[in-house]
Amino acid sequence: MKILVVGASKGLGRAFVEGLGQDGDTVIGVSRSRPAALSGGPGVTQDWIVADLSDPRAAVDAIEAQSPAALDVIIYNLGLWESRAFGEDYDFLADEDAALIELLNTNTVAAILLLKRLLPRLLSAAKPHIILTGSTSGLPGSGRPEVSFGASKHALRGIAEALREGFRAQRLAVTCLQLGYLNTEDALERPVAEAAARGSGQLVPVHDVLLLTRALLSLSDASFVKELVLPALLDPRF
C-alpha cells in the first residue's frame, strides 16, 4: 500500500508513519518540517513532503506535485485548536481573528482542497480509503465549548458523508476517527501499559489508535467502518 499521512511529525501522526506500514508498503508523511529521526517496520519505505497546511493553496500544490501517482490510503490527521482550548480560561470572545482563520484553514479548508486534488489518484486503488482524524468534540453533546475547533471537527463528519455519497460507486471507504483526549507524550517505543497509565485513565494511548487503524485497513473490500468513537474509559463525558 501507499499511505499518505497529513500531520505526521509528532504524536498520533508520527505513530501512523512509524507503525502502520508493513513490508513492501510506502508511507509518506506530510508536515511543516521533517523529524530528524524516524523508526519503522522492516521493508517499509518512508518519504516526506514538507508543507504548511495553514496556507492551503500553497501546501496542496506542493503535496500534489510530490505525491505518488497512485495512493491507497489518505489519512488527514491535522487538528489545530485555540490557544486556550480545553482549559478553564477558554474564552471564545478573546480568540484572535487571525488565529481562528489559521485554525479553520488548516483543519477544514486544506482538507477539502487536498482531497479534491488527490482523490483521482486514490480512486485507482483496489481498496481506496480515506481516514479523517476527528474528535469527540465533533460529536453532538460533546460537552465542550471550543467554538472553532468544534466547528472544524463537526465539518469533518460532513465531508465524510458527502464523499461517501459522491463516490460510493467507486467503492470509496471514508472513516471518521472520533478520538477523545490522547496521550501524545508517550510514543510507540513506550510500552503500552505505561502509556495507558498516564492520565489516570483519562487519556487514550496512540498505541490504541494505531491498533484500530491497522484493523480498519485490514478489512475486506466488502465492508468499512463509517465512524469509530474512541474516548478514554474514565472520560466523564462518555
Walk along the chain (238 residues) and give the pLDDT tens digit of each residue. Answer: 999 999 998 999 999 999 999 999 999 999 999 888 888 888 999 999 999 999 999 999 999 999 999 999 999 998 899 999 999 999 999 999 999 999 999 999 999 999 999 999 999 999 999 999 999 998 998 889 999 999 999 999 999 999 999 999 999 999 999 999 999 999 999 999 999 999 998 999 999 999 999 999 999 999 999 999 999 999 988 8
In whole angstroms, give the CA distance from residue 228 to residue 164.
16
The three three-digit cell numbers of residue 164, written as one number: 461517501
Return the SS3 of 207. Answer: helix
- CA-nearest of 21, 177, 150, 164 to 90 is 150
CA 111 from centre of chain: 10
At position 234, the amino acid (one-letter code) is L
Tell if the pTM clears 0.85, that is, is over it. Answer: yes
Sketch out the chain's domains with CATH numbers. 2-230 (3.40.50.720)
In whole angstroms, give the CA distance from residue 111 to residue 114.
5
- CA-nearest of 223, 187, 217, 218 to 205 is 187
**Cβ–Cβ under 8 Å, residues 80 and 107:** yes
CA 60 from centre of chain: 16
